Amino acid sequence: MKVKILQWHAVASWTWDAQDETCGICRMAFDGCCPDCKLPGDDCPLIWGACNHAFHLHCILKWVNSQTSQAHCPMCRREWQFKE
């Protein structure tokens, strides 16, 4: 039997490769977005710290900017540094 493909429809799924499922700051899913954004994806990315803890970029920036001195990782209290 010969099958002739007339049309095909590709479906892809994606997910962030983080250890947790939710952001420790906003408690929203990593595969969703931070509360200030509407669409998950590149516009609301995840970011990792040198300590390997991940957060929504927007959430960790808010935290870092709300600290008067050097900010610490909300999860492990190590000095917050963005992973190179």
* Binding region for other proteins (CB under 8 A): 22, 24-29, 31-38, 40, 59, 62-63, 66, 72, 74-75, 77
CB of 45 to other proteins, least distance (A): 15
φ/ψ of 80, rounded to 5, equals: -75, 120
Which pair of tokens denotes residue 27?
Answer: 């408690």
Between 32 and 47, CB nearer to other proteins: 32
Between 1 and 12, CB nearer to other proteins: 12
